[in-house]
Structure 1
Amino acid sequence: MVDPPEMERRQERDGGEGVAEREPGGRGLRLRREIGLWSAVSLTAGCMVGSGIFMSPQGVLVYMGSPGASLVVWAVCGLLAMMGALCYAELGALVPKSGGEYAYILQIFGSLPAFLVIYTFVLLVRPAAIAAISLSFAEYAVAPFYPGCSLLPQAVLKAVAAICILSLMLVNGRSSRLATMLTNVCTVAKVFSLLVIVGGGAVVLGQGRGYTDAFLFAFHNTTQQPGRIGMAFYQGLWSFDGWNNVNYVMEELKNPKKDLPLLYLLVNISYLLVLSSNEILSSNAVAVSWG
């Protein structure tokens, strides 16, 4: 066994940055505080802006039945995500520990409920979410190579998704600083792509070539079935998921002490302006069809 002081000296000698440091007074180890304010915001935004906003518009429109009702769903989902993020911000300030829900349940309810939560999360919830996100990424990465093909080769999709997961695993295992830099770059790229879509929708509207009929009869054919409305909210909330991710790395923030709903609304308005409802419903990669 290598004692912590020897481990730190070896890291300094080898030039490694390490992932932990000793607490003041030699009471134990803690994670290094290497995530600044911009990186924390980028982590939250980068986790929220993902495959959902580029693929869920189809599902929301399918279940709600009308463009107007689908925009209402997006606005309400954004409000719910904002309230959840505000609650987690307060929790993070009161309990500045990494682990998210696990840390809070451990402190409030004890070890057994916390163990059950993290056990389910690690073995079921997070792997399923990562698989879904990686497959969405693979669909967008592969779609340009198969123009006009409604069914993409599943073997290719799964291979690209697996490569994506392995690459991110290696980056996160190598260095938290490198992972933070990658998150910042991806966040800028994703937000920029959303702004391009919003700007493209404004250009199409200014040229008079948009599908404005969808907004003249915005709530026509809106569903009233609770089950379909619930599924529409599931699609929207999936797109906003990720607002709680910064709480999993609270101990790595340097100083642990927004407007995505509006952006998402504008993106969906652009989708509806550039694409007809039938084109959105028939597309598995809405942003590719928009492009």
Structure 2
Amino acid sequence: MSETKFKPVLGLWDATMIVAGSMIGSGIFIVGADILRNVGGSGWLIAVWLITGFMTITAAVSYGELSGMFPKAGGQYVYLKEAYNPLVAFLYGWSFFAVIQTGTIAAVGVAFSKFTAYLIPAVSEDIVLLDLGFTHISPAQILSIVIIILLTYINTKGVEGGKAIQTTFTVAKLLSLFGLIAFGLIMMKGDVWTANWTNAWDLHKLNTDGSIETYTTIAAVGAIAAAMVGSIFSSDAWNNVTFIAGEIKNPQRNIGLSLFLGTLIVTIIYVTANIMYTAVLPLHEIAYAEKDRVAVAASHAIFGNIGTVIIALMIMVSTFGCNNGLILAGARVYYTMAKDGLFFKQAGQLNKFAVPQQSLWVQCILASLWCLSGKYGDLLDMVSFVVVLFYMLTIVGIFILRKKRPDLPRPYKAFGYPILPLIYIVMGVTFCSLLIYYKPAFTWPGLIITLIGIPIYYFAVHQKKQTQ
């Protein structure tokens, strides 16, 4: 026998752990290298994380207003539908399914496998199990799929299992990250710190051979935008908690509060982790760490050879918990789309444990295919652009809804309205515009995937009318 509605069993603590746990995957351990290659100085490295943190927290507290107005499963998809129309909401849902969520699940799954290979070399990404010509299948890809299937299965048995995994793994990774940061700052090397923070605000490109390239003023702004691709990817998925509003107790209060607390905790960790990197590693070793694994190099500098094992275990815990949050929350969007007649009908049904089982398995299949494609890295370059685009549209929706539906109850109002939401929109437009100009390969593919959703939407609407 199937359930007809979600069960509200998640409290503020659970919701905050979903926000923080979904945000922290493998990015903080890796992307600092690419950021530093683009900006060249320690000051700018930290500035990129601070700008991203400001944007993330601003967006999160703005979403608090929307979550209080529409405390139902589907989150951002619902907000876009209410502020604009079903087409805009569907384009978000389609992009979310096609690239944003499933691509991120694949990338986080493969990151888990890559670091597992430190401890178990047999699952290395460098081993070729099967050569298909257009792509190679490695043990790392197979392990990532196994993990995705396992977490999907656990989440089909009810939200309680997913909640237990999320809380346990998020607490473990928060404590281990705080521990790593504390040890790093205690063991900081004075000469390295001094060298790194001398001329910290000199913005330039760092080359492999240690030489630098200066930027023109406009190119410098473009370099900051390119650097932010990594930090924005690492800070994404904070909005996942809005998708499971139907399973949160007192959602009008707890979603907005969990968004603020979760994004604040993660921003503090990200900024202090990068300060710690500059305390133990010379800039060139951060920028050109082997395979961009900055945290491995930093841990080795702090703990010696055992540092590699410590970081491998930390990233395994981090990515496992992160993927659980992504898998748990993502399926609720497809459930809501199916309820609107815009996704597979079966995806709009709950099983006896009151979870959208079919949605979970459809998401699992596509994420697994992305794992096999080997293109998840390219996908995530596109994701940052599309994600920020929809974040901006959603925040503009706050202004639209205040005019269109002024009488709707707003138990929580956007902090700093209208100034902070406007600042986010200006920063978002600047970021997206600079990416279009300086990194077109990061933008057009994601935009094309989003626009493919237009004919799919009208086909779905036509099919819906035919069956009515």
Q: TM-score range by the shorter chain?
A: 0.7 to 0.9
Counterpart CA distance in 2 for 1:212 and 1:166 is: 48
Residue 271 of structure 1 aligns with which residue?
277
Q: Which one of the candidate residues 90, 108, 118 is aligned to 1:143?
A: 118
- The one-letter code matched in structure 1 to 2:96 is F
Q: After TM superposition, give the deviation of residue 227 of structure 1 in Å.
A: 3.1
- 2:266 maps to which residue? 260
Q: 2:161 aligns to what?
A: 178
Pair 1:189-2:172 in alignment: yes
Deviates more, 1:39-48 or 1:250-259: 250-259
Determine the C-alpha separation between the residues in 1 that align with 2:194 and 2:158: 49
- CA separation in 1, counterparts of 2:190 and 2:89? 56
Sort the Cα spacing of 1:254 and 1:64 in 2 relative to 1 into closer, same or farther, 3 A: same
Which residue identity lines up with residue 181 of structure 1 in the other structure?
A
> Which residue identity lines up with residue 201 of structure 2 in the other structure?
F
Distance 2:277 2:125 in 1: 22
Are residues 122 and 211 of structure 1, via their aligned partners in 2, closer, same or farther at CA, if it must alter by over 3 Å?
Answer: same
Q: Which residue of 99, 102, 106 maps to 1:131? A: 106
Segments of structure 2 that go 5 or more residues without pairing to the other structure are: 129-137, 206-214, 253-263, 300-468
CA offset digits 1:251-283 (Å, max 9, x no partner): 110111223222211111111222222222223
Rounded Cα–Cα distance in structure 2 between residues aligned with 1:124 and 1:73 = 25
Query: 1:207-266: per-residue Cα shift (whole Å, max 9, x none)?
Result: 747543111232335354233221111111111112211100011101112232222111
The within-5 A match list for 1:49-198 is 49-145=24-120, 152-153=126-127, 155-198=138-181
SS of 1:212's equivalent? helix
Asked if 1:238 is matched to 2:233, the reply is yes
Percent identical pairs in the alignment equals 29
Distance 1:116 1:263 in 2: 33
- 2:201 corresponds, among 193, 200, 219, to 219
How far has the Cα of 1:50 moved from its partner? 1.5
> Which residue of the other structure, out of 282, 289, 301, is the alignment partner of 1:282?
289
Give structure 1 stretches of 5+ with no counterpart. 1-6, 9-19, 21-28
**Letter matched to residue 270 of structure 1:** M
1:133 CA displacement = 1.5
The residue identity in structure 2 corresponding to 1:199 is A
Larger relative contact order, structure 1 or 2 (CA cutoff 8 Å, min sep 6) = 1
Counterparts of residues 22-33 of structure 1 (less than 5 Å) = 29-33=4-8
3-state secondary structure, aligned to 2:9 = coil
Matched to 1:57, the amino acid is G
Alignment partners' CA distance in 2, 1:238 and 1:40: 21
TM-score between both structures, scaled by the size of structure 1: 0.83
Note if contact 2:125-2:141 (Cα within 8 Å) is conserved in structure 1: no
Counterparts in 2 of 1:227 and 1:144: CA distance versus 1, 3 Å: farther
Q: Which moved more, 1:32-41 or 1:99-108?
A: 99-108
Secondary structure at the counterpart of residue 41 of structure 1: helix
- For residue 145 of structure 1, report the CA deviation from its aligned partner: 4.3
Using the size of structure 2 for normalisation, the TM-score is: 0.53
**CA RMSD across the alignment:** 2.1
Q: Flag the 1:262–1:231 CA change in 2: closer, same or farther, 3 A.
A: same
Distance of aligned partners of 1:105 and 1:168 in 2 relative to their CA distance in 1, 3 Å threshold: same
Retained in 2: the 8 A contact 1:204–1:210? no
Q: Give the conservation status (yes or no) of the 8 Å contact 2:185–2:276.
A: yes
- Structure 2 counterpart of 1:174, one-letter code: K
Counterpart of 1:202 in structure 2 is 185
Q: Which residue of 2 aligns with 1:14?
A: none
Amino acid aligned to 1:267: A
CA distance in 2, matches of 1:35, 1:277: 43
Counterparts of 1:126 and 1:243 in 2: how far apart (Å)? Answer: 12
Query: What is the alpha-carbon distance in structure 1 between the residues aligned to residue 187 and residue 78 of structure 2?
Result: 48
Shift in CA distance, 87/253, structure 1 to aligned 2, threshold 3 Å: same
Aligned to 1:242, what secondary structure does the other structure show? coil
Which residue type is aligned with residue 163 of structure 2?
Answer: T
Contact 1:138 1:160 in 2 (8 A): yes
